[in-house]
């Protein structure tokens, strides 16, 4: 901890948070890319300085993914896509400062809960995670997809179509069973699959530009509700009051984030989706704080997942996501062996990591969150046609920057057109991203499971945890049907 | 266009059904596993079945009342004008790789951005300043501040 509390450690934390907030807020740039670009520098730094910087980068960038959702309906990360519509709607109704305050406070509390669990139960939880086989992963993916269908709040049939289209997009490229190329239409670039960040920029960002081009009227400015309110009150006080009122929601979402986050390969993206979808299914149609609850659920679960992804990494040496995979490579370079012995041999490093997570949640998120919220509040007030022209440029640059490949710009444009058509038909867009995120997890684990079980499908119901997840899926279906029926029989809102 | 539109839902339903058939047909060329079980074709076929059923449901229920709002209609210039504006910008993006090689990164992105601004009825000078300024800021942010090569 002494290394962390040195001036180098604190500067690394601060700069990591600043760097992460920029990467998260800009469409196309991700926490993984931010950490990957930081690696060459990290190799030359003391681990007690480099690793806290990585924690700051990843936790702040996951929060900053909500900035794009707030300003322009472009989620900065797939985790933010789970509640992008709610962020966008809330920012226009109650202002971007309040909306991002809600997200930052939810992220901070989720991060603290995740860290506390990391401190008290890292090894035990990691052992449970290590017991997860392809059968359990299959059911986790099914649970996420099922919740996603009912979470749209509209027609379940249309949500299913969006989800299936996302799953279909996930099949582009090399298949996981035989390595056979599918749906690549002779393009070598498509062999690597569709990058879902590029797709997301097109689906949300470019389709927004196309929608306004179609309507032909984008000269208005956004009128914000909270223009007279002090930003400190809007960012800190009101969100904290609401969070206290919804404390069980925050706690429950953080626990879901923890559970999904520590599963290797799942991470913050899936955690956010599962948590937000469950909340949307559970809440009553027309509830006054519907959007706020969805934002709180998503934000608290994705930052809890950022912390819990480190549990298998530290305890077992298994990366929970791409960021922890990079961290493990830094461990190896420095001659540090992750696993149970880490807690004996490198206890100072472990405590430095815990302290960093807490500082990141309690100081960096509120600090950088407030700064980005103020910037977003100015950006959102710009004339819409000028804002959209900058968004168009950002979409092109963001898509191109993923691989420095102009083909990605075409993919982004095609996805934008496709999303525009879906919007005309009233199909939800977020479910397409969910399908793309969960598709590879679902297919790979299904194929591995059936091959292991020699195509005995009853094997999916034999393992206790798999059975538990199946029951959870059935409960989600029942809740979803109940929610749909309530919506159908509810009286129509007054005109 | 908002609200109930049987024609639109019928079109969507039929399009989804057709897509499912295309996916199924394409998957017929995928190999089986060595033990004869379906391999790379299995997942796309399950998706195709799901799309077919959902598309069929949408088609059949096209005449039932629709409660969710859809996209608002195009403005004064009508649907044709809206489609034309979308086509122009999409073609500009299609030409991006060639234009970028010819003109360079910053002029090409600035031109696309300006095109969007003008089509959205921004004042030309205001649009040009925003397009060029925005592109420069984005370029410098990516390459100089964040170290992302473009």
Contact A420 B112 (CB under 8 A): no
Å from A10 to nearest chain B CA? 20
A343 close contact with B: CB closer than 8 A? no
Contact A389 B131 (CB under 8 A): yes
ipTM: 0.88
Judge whether A213 and B89 are in contact, CB under 8 Å: yes
In this complex, the residue of A160, A168, A423 whose CB is nearest that of residue B71 is A423
Q: Which of A154-163, A173-182, A284-293, A421-430 has the lowest mean pLDDT?
A: A284-293
Contact A183 B26 (CB under 8 A): yes
pLDDT band, very low/low/confident/very high, at A80 (cuts 50, 70, 90): confident
- Mean pLDDT over A1-29 rounds to 77
Write down the pLDDT at residue A129. 66
Residue B83: its chain A contacts at CB < 8 A? 214
pLDDT band, very low/low/confident/very high, at B65 (cuts 50, 70, 90): low
pLDDT band, very low/low/confident/very high, at A382 (cuts 50, 70, 90): confident
Which tokens sit at A483? 């929610």
- Mean pLDDT over B93-97 rounds to 90
Write down the pLDDT at residue A281. 75
**Count of CB atoms situated within 10 Å of the CB of B131:** 26
Whether the per-residue pLDDT at B2 is higher than 50: the answer is no
Contact B96 A417 (CB under 8 A): no
Residue B36: its chain A contacts at CB < 8 A? none
Write down the pLDDT at residue A491. 56
A458 close contact with B: CB closer than 8 A? no
pLDDT in tens, A255-302: 888 877 777 666 677 788 888 887 877 765 555 667 888 888 888 888
In this complex, the residue of A29, A219, A423 whose CB is nearest that of residue B146 is A29
Whether the per-residue pLDDT at B131 is higher than 90: the answer is yes
Whether the per-residue pLDDT at A219 is higher than 60: the answer is no
Write down the pLDDT at residue B1. 39
Write down the pLDDT at residue B23. 95
Please, what is the Cα angle at A194 between A277 and A324, to 5 degrees?
65
Phi-psi region of A317 (alpha: psi -120 to 50; beta: other; left: phi over 0): left
- Mean pLDDT over A464-488 rounds to 82
Instruction: Please state, rounded to an integer, the average pLDDT across all residues of chain A.
Output: 82
A187 close contact with B: CB closer than 8 A? no
Write down the pLDDT at residue B125. 93
Residues whose CB is less than 8 angstroms from the CB of residue A62 and which lie 6 or more positions away in sequence, other chains included? A24, A31, A77, A79, A107, A268, A302, A303, A306
Judge whether A120 and A450 are in contact, CB under 8 Å: no
In this complex, the residue of A157, A426, A455 whose CB is nearest that of residue B57 is A157
Residue A447: its chain B contacts at CB < 8 A? 39, 42-43
Global pTM reads 0.78
pLDDT band, very low/low/confident/very high, at A198 (cuts 50, 70, 90): confident
Q: How many CA within 13 A on the CB side of residue A5? A: 6
Residue A409: its chain B contacts at CB < 8 A? 93, 96-97
Selected for mutation to probe chain B from A166, A176, A216, A455 (highest B CB count within 10 Å) is: A216
* DSSP sequence for A177-222: TT--EES-TT-HHHHT---HHHHHIIIIIIHHHHHHHHHT---PPP
Closest residue on chain B to A160 (Cα): B54
pLDDT in tens, A207-218: 888 988 998 765
CA-to-CA distance for A37 and A92, rounded, in angstroms?
34
pLDDT band, very low/low/confident/very high, at B3 (cuts 50, 70, 90): very low
Name the residue with higher pLDDT: A31 or B70: A31
Å from A410 to nearest chain B CA? 6
Whether the per-residue pLDDT at B79 is higher than 90: the answer is no
Residues whose CB is less than 8 angstroms from the CB of residue A119 and which lie 6 or more positions away in sequence, other chains included? A354
pLDDT band, very low/low/confident/very high, at B49 (cuts 50, 70, 90): very high
pLDDT in tens, B34-46: 888 888 999 999 9
Contact A389 B51 (CB under 8 A): no
Write down the pLDDT at residue A286. 56
pLDDT band, very low/low/confident/very high, at A224 (cuts 50, 70, 90): low
């Amino acid at each position: 901890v002494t290394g962390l509390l040195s001036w180098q450690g604190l500067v690394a934390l601060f700069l990591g948070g600043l760097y992460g907030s920029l990467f998260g807020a800009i469409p196309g740039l991700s926490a993984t890319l931010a950490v990957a670009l930081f690696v060459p520098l990290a190799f030359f730094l003391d681990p007690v300085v480099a690793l806290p910087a990585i924690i700051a980068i990843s936790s702040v960038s996951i929060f900053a993914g909500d900035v794009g959702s707030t300003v322009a309906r472009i989620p900065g990360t797939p985790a933010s896509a789970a509640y992008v519509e709610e962020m966008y709607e809330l920012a226009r109704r109650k202002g971007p400062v309040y909306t991002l305050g809600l997200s930052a406070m939810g992220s901070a509390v989720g991060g603290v809960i995740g860290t506390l669990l990391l401190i008290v139960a890292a090894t035990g939880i990691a052992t449970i995670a290590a017991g997860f086989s392809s059968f359990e992963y299959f059911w986790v993916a099914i649970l996420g997809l099922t919740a996603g269908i009912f979470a749209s709040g509209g027609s379940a049939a249309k949500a299913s179509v969006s989800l299936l289209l996302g799953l279909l997009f996930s099949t582009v490229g090399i298949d996981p069973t035989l390595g056979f190329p599918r749906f690549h239409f002779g393009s070598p670039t498509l062999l690597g699959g569709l990058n879902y960040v590029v797709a997301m920029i097109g689906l949300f960002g470019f389709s927004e530009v196309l929608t306004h081009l179609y309507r032909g009227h984008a000269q208005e400015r956004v009128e914000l509700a909270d223009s007279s309110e002090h930003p400190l009150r809007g960012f800190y006080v009101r969100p904290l009051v609401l969070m206290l009122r919804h404390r069980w929601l925050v706690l429950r979402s953080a626990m879901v984030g923890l559970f999904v986050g520590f599963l290797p390969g799942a991470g913050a993206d899936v955690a956010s989706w599962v948590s937000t979808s469950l909340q949307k299914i559970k809440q009553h149609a027309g509830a006054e704080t519907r959007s706020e609850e969805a934002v709180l659920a998503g934000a608290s679960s994705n930052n809890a997942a950022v912390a819990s992804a480190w549990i298998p990494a530290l305890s077992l040496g298994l990366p929970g996501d791409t960021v922890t995979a990079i961290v493990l490579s830094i461990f190896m370079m420095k001659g540090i062996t992750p696993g149970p012995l880490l807690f004996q041999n490198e206890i100072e490093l472990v405590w430095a990591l815990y302290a960093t997570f807490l500082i990141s949640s309690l100081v960096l998120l509120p600090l950088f969150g407030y700064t980005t919220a103020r910037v977003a509040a100015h950006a959102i007030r710009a004339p819409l046609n000028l804002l959209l022209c900058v968004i168009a440029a950002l979409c092109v640059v963001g898509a191109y920057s993923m691989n420095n490949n102009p083909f990605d710009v075409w993919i982004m444009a095609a996805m934008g057109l496709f999303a525009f058509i879906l919007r005309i038909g009233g199909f939800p867009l977020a479910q397409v991203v969910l399908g793309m995120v969960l598709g590879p997890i679902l297919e790979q684990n299904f194929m591995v499971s059936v091959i292991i079980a020699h195509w005995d499908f009853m094997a999916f119901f034999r393992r206790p945890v798999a059975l538990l997840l199946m029951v959870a899926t059935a409960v989600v279906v029942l809740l979803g049907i109940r929610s749909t029926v309530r919506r159908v029989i509810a009286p129509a809102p007054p005109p | 266009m908002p609200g109930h539109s049987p024609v639109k839902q019928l079109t969507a339903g039929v399009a989804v059904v057709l897509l499912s058939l295309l996916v199924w047909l394409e998957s017929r060329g995928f190999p089986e596993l060595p033990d004869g079980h379906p391999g790379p074709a299995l997942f796309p076929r399950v998706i195709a079945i799901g799309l077919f059923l959902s598309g069929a449901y949408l088609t059949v229920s096209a005449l039932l009342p629709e409660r969710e709002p859809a996209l608002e209609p195009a403005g004064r210039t009508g649907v044709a004008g809206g489609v034309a504006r979308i086509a122009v910008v999409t073609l500009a993006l299609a030409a991006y790789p060639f234009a970028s090689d010819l003109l360079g990164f910053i002029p090409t992105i600035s031109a696309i951005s300006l095109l969007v601004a003008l089509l959205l009825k921004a004042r030309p000078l205001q649009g040009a300043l925003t397009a060029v300024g925005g592109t420069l800021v984005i370029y410098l942010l990516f390459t100089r501040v964040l170290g992302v090569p473009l």
